[in-house]
Amino acid sequence: MEKLQNKVALVTGASRGIGAAIAKRFAREGASVALTYQTSKDKAEQVAQEIRQLGGKAIALRADGADPQAVISAVDKTVQEFGGLHILVNNAGIAFYHDISQLTLEDFDHMMAVNVRAVFAASQAAIKYLGDGGRIINIGSCQAERMPDPGGSLYAMSKSALVGLTKGMARDLGSRGITVNVIHPGPIDTDMNPASGPTSAYQRSLMALSDFGTANDIAALATYLAGPESAYMTGSGLTIDGGTNS
């Protein structure tokens, strides 16, 4: 049986990678899906088209996470298109690594704007529509808990901020039956972190398991959090990292 029948989901940053896998999996589980992108219009349209070809409903919306109004408008457009909203996945994110001495205030602001402020803006816009059984799923990182490499101060900070935002929102929204959780992926083979990249051997050396995870691994966990079986889970962080932080 489809787990997300009659649900409407908005997945940010779903033109490729983890977001695209979540959007496709949610659609397979019966949800209508709006997906956002920053620049990859063709790829986002392709994901939406793939979903429609399989009989699902999907739209692609341009919304730069650095622009809160664009993010808010994507939430409103989702509701206009599909008549409601039940699940928000705040997945869109950026990563860059530089020594603290080289980072600028602009770097700080940009990292926080895309990885944190957009999550706040989207969530605040979404709660106007989410009712009992509503779901907010944030995509963090195992580096929120442990940063094994130099250069990751801003990225780790932004993902740690999502832990606090998740816990606080869970408290605010629990009485309305809305759950808020954060998934902390480890090395997942995407454009952001290709399994054949220059640091992939090093990343493998940190794992308990032997290889990178796939975007579908994260989509499976997101599907659990989006569905009825996770109803009693809120304010939680779920690490899925091949044992990187173990």
Helices (H), 37-104: 41-53, 68-82
Nearer to ligand NDP, 66 or 112 (CB): 66
152 binds ligand NDP (CB under 6 A): no
Tokens, residue 186 = 């480890």
Nearer to ligand NDP, 63 or 88 (CB): 63
Tokens, residue 46 = 């392709």
Is the Cβ–Cβ distance between 223 and 3 less than 8 Å?
yes
- With CB under 6 A as the rule, give the number of residues binding ligand NDP: 32
Smallest distance, ligand NDP to C-beta of residue 140, A: 7
Residues 6+ apart with CB under 8 A from 162: 90, 115, 116, 119, 138, 140, 144, 182
> At which residue do the structure tokens 């994110």 appear?
93
Write phi, then psi, for 234 (nearest 5 degrees).
Answer: -150, 150
Binding mask 107-126 for ligand NDP (x = CB under 6 A): -------x------------
Residues involved in catalysis: 155
Is the Cβ–Cβ distance between 22 and 67 less than 8 Å?
no
78 binds ligand NDP (CB under 6 A): no
Q: Exactly one of 56, 65, 68, 152 binds ligand NDP (CB under 6 A); which one?
A: 65
Nearer to ligand NDP, 78 or 141 (CB): 141
179 binds ligand NDP (CB under 6 A): no
Is the Cβ–Cβ distance between 140 and 237 less than 8 Å?
yes
Nearer to ligand NDP, 65 or 134 (CB): 65
Site of interaction with ligand NDP (CB under 6 A): 13-19, 36-40, 43, 63-66, 91-95, 114, 139, 141, 185, 187-188, 190-193
